[in-house]
Structure 1
Amino acid sequence: MTSEVSPPVWSPVWSPTQWASNGEVRLAYDRLLPEEAGGEPLLLVTGLGVARHWWPTGLARALAARGFTIARYDQRDAGESTHLPPTARTGPITALLRKRGDAYTAEDMTDDAIAVLDALGWDSAHLFGQSLGGAVAQRIALRHPRRIRTLTSVSAVPGDSAGLATLRHIRLRTLARLARMGRRSHLLEGHIEAGVALARLLHSPAHPFDEPAIRAMLAETPDPGVRDARSQSRQIGAQWSGPAIGRITAPTLVLHGLDDPLVKPSAGRTVAARIPGARFVPLPGVGHDLPEPLWEDVAHQVRQLAGG
């Protein structure tokens, strides 16, 4: 007598896409599954132009194992969230130097995150932002301090800097190369190749480059955001007119790769020096990403910051 073996049940890693609204802007978000009861809310804030799928699921799982409930969202002008109508033809470098944004403000972008928290039913949350997401996370902590438990800023410039003050922390040659990636083919293979090129440009020199994993992620990402220089310019050009980051009161952790090819380590040191009580952790051999060998340690550091 033989018994039939049931096929394994497929279990999704992330929830189906859900939606929050800030005025006319719709924001796509999802949650890491399964969600453990009592987990502390933690929102991942995505970097310049790219979709939320760029967050390593392994990092999210490492954070969840430390007692966090994880959500991630696409910022406006990225991923599945609302893309604003085309504005003046400009590139990211020019957008940094403009005295006003073409379409919206940095305050609007912070309010997007709060709309996501509201949709999730979270009164407050820990923030973990990388690259532009780190600067946005700093601004969220300034504009909505009662909603933020802790702040982790990774590979980011000071959230209150603008124009030349920002450019001093940016490697312009890398930024120019990023802008040129928007000229690639509009075929599926084009966005995958462009995404691989982006990931290779920003990866950590002391760690292996996992091209198969990058390709798999890009193949499943509705809009990886690599080729849309106009959207990137609107995001990077959004002007902040709020208080200085020295007014941040949330417990703050600042991480920065010492081999970051896009944002100089001076940026992270400056952020940590200006936020009261912030702790700066340099990451030797790390670029403008968070490679797998760091995930457990990063999760441990965020857990310590949150009190545990």
Structure 2
Amino acid sequence: MTMLHVDGIDLAADRRGPAEAPTVLLIAGGGQSMDWWTPEFCDALSAGSLQVIRYDHRDTGRSSQSPPGRRPDYTGDDLVTDALRVLNAFDVERAHLVGMSMGGGIAQTLAVRHPDRVASATLVESSPAGGDHGSLPGPTAAVAATWTEPAPDIDWADVNSVIDYRVDVERPYACPDRFDEARVRRIASLEVRRTANVESSMSNHFVAAPSGGVDPAMIAAPTLVVHSVDDPMYPVEHGRALAAMIPGSRFLELAGVGHEIPPPQSWDVVLPAIRQLVSATP
């Protein structure tokens, strides 16, 4: 792991694979550290022929933190620019972006605003970041309830309690009846122990001033949209609409996957699709 000190902030990043190979930048969702892109996922994607970079968003992992409970000292646009800061720090001119949920929105924004830096885009369990996409269905009742129910009283100094909470946060976003608690707990345990302030990571992305929207129809980079019919946050219509808006994009429909970074049971489908997109892009 590398600590990048850029523009007065700290961004923790991890780079795997040959430095001279095509670069894939993994962009996690809201409130997620790089830990959700597991080393096993990164190594399987790299397969010794791609450079794979993952990083901690601000307020996650070891990256710069803002106090919890109030609007942080950065905006959604800053989170977009952070991806460029990571690429610049590693002297990467163009990268293949793989973004999940909020990370997919960041990838869309980069592809529209900085097309010269984006070789391709893979958008996972994401939704159009703007444009004319028509009416799209909302989340399940279980997911919607997480936004309206009172926050639990957490002792943030009690590591085990915080890990339990972090696991419970992921539960409503899983594919129904397919929550892999053991796997989620392993990742959550690592994330909690790495994160300087978990309370900030669980709230600040969602109260930051949002990034301005972009029209996915303006994306010129080759694009793969990956979406599950079982996503409880963004029903599959979001992915289908996104793919329909982006000229020439490919849509890969999954089943048995929730609103999550692709889990191991999907790797035999998802990883070859990403690698094919990368290899087909000049």
**CA shift digits 1:115-170 (9 cap, x unpaired):** 100111111110000011111111111111111111000011112269xx898544
Q: What residue identity is the alignment partner of 1:140?
A: L
Residue in structure 2 matched with residue 292 of structure 1 by the alignment: 264
Deviation, 1:301, is: 0.2
Residue 144 (structure 1) aligned with residue 117 (structure 2):
no
Q: What residue identity is the alignment partner of 1:232?
A: H
Residue in structure 2 matched with residue 174 of structure 1 by the alignment: 143
Does the C-alpha gap of structure 1 residues 247 and 225 become closer, same or farther in structure 2, counting only changes over 3 Å?
farther
Deviation, 1:238, is: 1.1
Deviation, 1:276, is: 0.7
Q: What residue identity is the alignment partner of 2:12?
A: A
Residue in structure 2 matched with residue 30 of structure 1 by the alignment: 14
Q: What residue identity is the alignment partner of 1:69?
A: Q
Q: What residue identity is the alignment partner of 2:160?
A: E
Deviation, 1:270, is: 1.2
Q: What residue identity is the alignment partner of 2:40?
A: G
TM-score, normalised by the number of residues in structure 1: 0.78
Gaps of 5+ in 2: none
Deviation, 1:300, is: 0.3
Q: What residue identity is the alignment partner of 2:232?
A: P
Quote the Cα distance in structure 1 between the aligned partners of 2:33 and 2:181. 18
Q: What residue identity is the alignment partner of 2:3?
A: Q
Does the C-alpha gap of structure 1 residues 188 and 149 become closer, same or farther in structure 2, counting only changes over 3 Å?
same
Residue in structure 1 matched with residue 63 of structure 2 by the alignment: 81
Deviation, 1:293, is: 1.3
Out of 35, 47, 66, the residue aligned to residue 65 of structure 1 is 47
Deviation, 1:217, is: 2.4
Deviation, 1:37, is: 5.6
Residue in structure 2 matched with residue 233 of structure 1 by the alignment: 206
Q: The residue matched to 2:10 in structure 1 has which SS?
A: strand
Q: What residue identity is the alignment partner of 1:219?
A: S
Quote the Cα distance in structure 2 between the aligned partners of 1:177 and 1:275. 31
Residue in structure 1 matched with residue 275 of structure 2 by the alignment: 303
CA contact (8 A) 1:182 1:226 kept: no
CA radius of gyration, larger in: 1
CA contact (8 A) 2:142 2:172 kept: no
Q: What residue identity is the alignment partner of 2:52?
A: I
Quote the Cα distance in structure 1 between the aligned partners of 2:77 and 2:14. 23
Q: What residue identity is the alignment partner of 2:60?
A: A
Quote the Cα distance in structure 1 between the aligned partners of 2:131 and 2:70. 23
Out of 219, 223, 243, the residue aligned to residue 272 of structure 1 is 243
Residue in structure 2 matched with residue 4 of structure 1 by the alignment: none
Q: The residue matched to 1:220 in structure 2 has which SS?
A: helix
Over aligned residues, Cα RMSD in angstroms?
A: 2.9
Does the C-alpha gap of structure 1 residues 131 and 153 become closer, same or farther in structure 2, counting only changes over 3 Å?
same
CA contact (8 A) 2:30 2:206 kept: no
Quote the Cα distance in structure 2 between the aligned partners of 1:298 and 1:206. 21
CA contact (8 A) 1:191 1:224 kept: no
Quote the Cα distance in structure 2 between the aligned partners of 1:57 and 1:151. 21
Q: The residue matched to 2:207 in structure 1 has which SS?
A: helix
Deviation, 1:105, is: 4.0
Q: The residue matched to 2:217 in structure 1 has which SS?
A: helix
Range moving further from structure 2, 280-289 or 131-140: 280-289
TM-score, normalised by the number of residues in structure 2: 0.85
Deviation, 1:52, is: 0.9
Q: The residue matched to 1:193 in structure 2 has which SS?
A: helix
The share of aligned pairs that are identical, in percent, is 33
How many residues are matched?
A: 274
Q: The residue matched to 1:62 in structure 2 has which SS?
A: helix
Gaps of 5+ in 1: 1-15, 90-101
Does the C-alpha gap of structure 1 residues 69 and 272 become closer, same or farther in structure 2, counting only changes over 3 Å?
same
Q: What residue identity is the alignment partner of 2:229?
A: L
Quote the Cα distance in structure 2 between the aligned partners of 1:182 and 1:130. 26
Quote the Cα distance in structure 1 between the aligned partners of 2:234 and 2:42. 23
CA contact (8 A) 1:155 1:288 kept: yes
Q: The residue matched to 1:122 in structure 2 has which SS?
A: coil
